[in-house]
Amino acid sequence: MVSLLLKNADTVLPDGTVKNTSVLIGNGKISSVTNEVGKADKTFSLLNLTLYAGLIDAHIHGAVGVDVNVADAADLYKMAKFLAENGTTAWLPTFVPDSDEVYRNVIAEIEKIIKIQENEPIAQIVGVHYEGVFANEKMCGALRPEFFKTFTGNELNDLPKLKKGVHLTTFAPEAENGISLVRELKKQNWIPLIGHTKAGLQTLEKAFDAGAKHLTHFFNAMTGLHHRDSGVVGWALTKPEVTFDIIADGVHVAPEILKFAVRSKSTEKVSLISDAVLPTGLGDGDFEIWGEKVSVLNGKTRNLRGSIAGSVITMLDAVKMMLSLGFSETEVSRMASANPARLLGIEKTHGTIEAGKRADLVALDEQGNVRLVLIGGNVAFRGI
């Protein structure tokens, strides 16, 4: 593989942004990060650009006309290419509740992409996320409760798994046998995420003790904070060991509350997600998603029941939002890359710019526009 040198970059490292660095890349990995200009087969000057670790999206349902629940390999490739062009270098296709047949069909299509993606300049699929299969019907949001499952001991075995990859599921701990579900998820090496829930504090504590320590799209589809009732939100904010992800589109959570929640919890314990759906990248209009009409107006989704039906942002949009709220480049990179990598258990290879890690990198200009994307050392997008 051709070696690359990225010179003159302001590079966002785990402990701060370092100006005028040289990042040497070989065999798809970062070889070194120094202030000395080395030699390579090919050199890119990143003068006046900021170099971030590639963005990681652990919760995304679709984009550019593609819906994960009905996607084939060609659809997934199209979506992964779009994500790469917008700075996302790793992602988890995310299911909404559906039939087991749908799950099997799409998992088979995901496997086809996984076989070829390592040598393709597209965002890499690192796992799958089943959202809401074991959720609370009263907190379903845009999910379809007719496809919810009740855990009695074997239902987890009905969910198709990838041959290799990370497996997440968002569940409600108050659902029938919810605590037993957590134990089984942990036993089978799934990552359990709490969401679509109105669980009480005692149930939340039991779920935590069983191994569920992260919440899905914080504030949304969960009981909120009241000064006489902490709710799920209050429990998460006041329990130090709990982490959460949040949709930074300014719609799902008001910007001032978004900033408050992240500052309260700390950027060490918050991950950004897109929760993007099929219309992402297509602008406003009416769309068919999950068997119903969803309208997009001024960047806001709404289904016929009046519920928000996912977002139409990319992880890049989330990054821009957090920067606009005053978070530093290091803090934003932590939330968009390092923390998701740690949640997924891939932090040894992803999430930060350090020697030995994958060369998944994105260079942004002062306006936050993507100017260069590398995935495994391959150029996925070039605008310089």
Structure tokens at 309: 């039906």
Q: In this structure, are 178 and 30 located in the same domain?
A: no
Distance CA 171, CA 128 (A): 15
Task: Give me the pLDDT at residue 38, please.
Answer: 77
| Domain assignment present for 21 | yes
Task: Give me the pLDDT at residue 304, please.
Answer: 85
The closest of 135, 118, 59 to 93, measured between CA atoms, is 59
Number of domains in the chain: 2
| Domain assignment present for 351 | no
Low-confidence stretches of the chain (pLDDT beneath 70)? none
Question: For the domain that residue 226 is a member of, what is the CATH number?
Answer: 3.20.20.140
Cα distances from 117 to residues 112, 189, 299, 368, 369, in angstroms, run: 9, 24, 31, 27, 25
Active site (annotated) includes residue 275: yes
Strands (E), 14-163: 16-26, 29-34, 42-45, 50-53, 55-60, 62-63, 66-67, 88-95, 124-125, 127-134
Q: In this structure, are 45 and 104 located in the same domain?
A: no
Q: In this structure, are 273 and 156 located in the same domain?
A: yes
Residue type, 274: S
Polymer length in residues for the chain: 384
Q: In this structure, are 101 and 26 located in the same domain?
A: no
Whole-model pTM?
Answer: 0.97
Q: In this structure, are 211 and 75 located in the same domain?
A: yes
Choose, from 245, 275, 317, 360, the residue flagged as catalytic: 275
| Domain assignment present for 161 | yes
Domain that holds residue 8: 4-50+367-382
| Domain assignment present for 168 | yes
C-beta atoms surrounding 348 within 10 Å: 11
Q: In this structure, are 184 and 251 located in the same domain?
A: yes
Q: In this structure, are 248 and 372 located in the same domain?
A: no
Looking only at the bridges linking them, the beta strands covering 16-26 and 29-34 are antiparallel
Tens digits of residue pLDDT in 99-126 = 999 999 999 999 999 999 998 999 999 9
Structure tokens at 333: 């990179």
Q: In this structure, are 206 and 283 located in the same domain?
A: yes
pLDDT > 90 fraction of the chain, expressed in percent and rounded:
91
DSSP per-residue string spanning 232-250: HHHHHHH-TT-EEEEE-SS
The closest of 90, 161, 94, 159 to 126, measured between CA atoms, is 90
C-beta atoms surrounding 92 within 10 Å: 25
| Domain assignment present for 356 | no
Q: In this structure, are 113 and 213 located in the same domain?
A: yes
Q: In this structure, are 271 and 286 located in the same domain?
A: yes
| Domain assignment present for 355 | no
Q: In this structure, are 24 and 150 located in the same domain?
A: no
Q: In this structure, are 201 and 335 located in the same domain?
A: yes
Cα distances from 274 to residues 48, 49, 242, 261, 313, in angstroms, run: 27, 24, 20, 17, 6
Tens digits of residue pLDDT in 23-81 = 999 999 999 999 887 789 999 999 999 999 999 999 999 999 999 999 999 999 999 99
| Domain assignment present for 44 | yes
Task: Give me the pLDDT at residue 309, please.
Answer: 86
Distance CA 337, CA 156 (A): 29
Helices 73-85 and 100-117, axial angle in degrees (round to 10): 60
Question: For the domain that residue 372 is a member of, what is the CATH number?
Answer: 2.30.40.10
Backbone φ and ψ of 179, nearest 5° = -70, -35
